[in-house]
Structure 1
Amino acid sequence: MERIVYISTCRTDPDRDMVQDILRTSRRNNRQDDLTGLLVVGGRRFLQVLEGPTAGIDAAYERIKADPRHFALVELSRRPVAARAFAGWNMGCEQIDGEDMTGLVDRLTEKLGDATLQAQFRSFVALHRTAA
């Protein structure tokens, strides 16, 4: 089993309808590929974690790279993992609309038990603040 973490930028400001469309498609595909994960949307930036079998990760990441709604994909990490951090979430999602992003990310990651993954989420918060 592997985990990939990436960041990308949406070509337009993602509204709730766009995010819901992405989630519907992602959840369907993730069930088929046995993937779990979390998508955090802050402004025009996406931070996503996917975990599961290598073949499923590869298929999902190829679909994501081909999606014209975003650009500047940067793979932050990809590594084998012994257990899922987001078991039971075909694709959890949080979209930040002026909310305290730091508090939200802290709540989402407090039980992860993976310091590297927590740091990636916190770096995303810092990046979002800088870009805002």
Structure 2
Amino acid sequence: MHQLIYISSAALNVTSTDIDSILAISRLNNARDDLTGLLIYDGRRFLQALEGPGTAVDKAYERIKLDTRHRASVKLSLREVWSRQFGSWEMASQKVDLIADDDSLGVLVAKMVAQVPDPNTRALFSEFAKIKRKAA
């Protein structure tokens, strides 16, 4: 089983409706393709983990790179995992740009990844929240 984590920048014209559409389509595709993961959107950037069969992860990432609602996609991690880090989440998500309190962002992300077994994966998502706080 593969796990891919990438970061990308949102296109300038991305709306909340676009994000909802991304999530709805992702959940359908991921259920069909036996993928699980987590997507965090901070109002400017996406951080996403995808995991599942290698071919399915590769195909999903190719679709993602073609999506014009974001740009500058960079793989942060691609590795083999023995078990799913994100359980049965077809695509857990949080639009963290809607959170006014920066400390709440860190708490929310920490709660979302608390059950993820790999400390490096947890740290990556937690650092994403810290970068958002520092950039604000």
Classify the TM-score, shorter chain: over 0.9
Q: Deviations over 1:72-116 (max 9, x none)?
A: 111110100001011211111111112421001111111212111
- Do 1:10 and 1:71's aligned partners in 2 also have CA atoms closer than 8 Å? yes
Of residues 13-22 and 61-70 in structure 1, the stretch that sits farther from structure 2 once superposed is 13-22
- SS of 1:71's partner is strand
Describe how 1:1-132 pairs up with structure 2 within 5 A: 1-12=1-12, 14-96=14-96, 97=98, 98-99=100-101, 100-132=104-136
Identity among equivalent positions (%) equals 42
Gaps of 5+ in 2: none
* Unmatched 5+ stretches in structure 1: none
Residues 93 and 115 of structure 1: CA distance in aligned 2, closer, same or farther (over 3 Å): same
Please give the alpha-carbon distance, in whole angstroms, between the structure 2 residues aligned to 1:112 and 1:36.
12
SS of structure 1 residue aligned to 2:84: coil
Please list the CA deviations of residues 20-72 of structure 1 after superposition, one character each: whole Å capped at 9, or x if unmatched: 10011111111121100110111211110000000100000000000111111
Q: How many residues get paired?
A: 132
The TM-score normalised by the length of structure 1 is 0.93
Cα distance in 2 between the residues matched to 1:113 and 1:89:
14
Name the TM-score, length of structure 2 as normaliser. 0.91
Measured in 2, the distance between the counterparts of 1:5 and 1:39 equals 10
In the TM superposition, residue 15 of structure 1 has moved relative to its aligned partner by 3.4
Q: 1:124 to 1:64 in 2, by over 3 A?
A: same
CA RMSD of aligned residues (A): 1.3
